[in-house]
Amino acid sequence: SQQGEEDPQALSIQEGKNATMNCSYKTSINNLQWYRQNSGRGLVHLILIRSNEREKHSGRLRVTLDTSKKSSSLLITASRAADTASYFCATDPIQGAQKLVFGQGTRLTINP
């Protein structure tokens, strides 16, 4: 069963605009991670945020985590065509040992 739910399931925006994706989860976590997947290929790790962190930045990516609401958001600024992909959040439950639980993903399309 899936732990998280991403919202929206699909997002289409114009190149240069910002894209925001949200993720909700159900159980306590050790950390939350965001991954990108291009056309059904392998997953590329984007960023990891620990349960005691509230915000993290990496290049054009900004991730927030609200453990009280069990939710996270991924912001991609100044989007590019190459950002077109599916984005997944994955939680690492405290009781698990690197056993990632993924949401269903957000399909992001960047239009020129």
Partner 1 sequence: DAGVTQSPTHLIKTRGQQVTLRCSPKSGHDTVSWYQQALGQGPQFIFQYYEEEERQRGNFPDRFSGHQFPNYSSELNVNALLLGDSALYLCASSGTTTSRQFFGPGTRLTVL
Of 11, 13, 48, 75, the residue at the interface with partner 1 (CB under 8 A) is: 48
- Is there binding between residue 31 and partner 1 (CB under 8 A)? yes
Can you tell me which residue has the tokens 């349960």?
A: 51
Paired tokens of 94: 């405290």
Nearer to partner 1 by Cβ, of 2 and 27: the residue is 2
Cα–Cα distance, 17 to 76 (Å, whole number): 9
- Is there binding between residue 45 and partner 1 (CB under 8 A)? yes
- Is there binding between residue 34 and partner 1 (CB under 8 A)? no
- Is there binding between residue 101 and partner 1 (CB under 8 A)? yes
Decide: 87 and 21 in contact? Cβ < 8 Å: yes
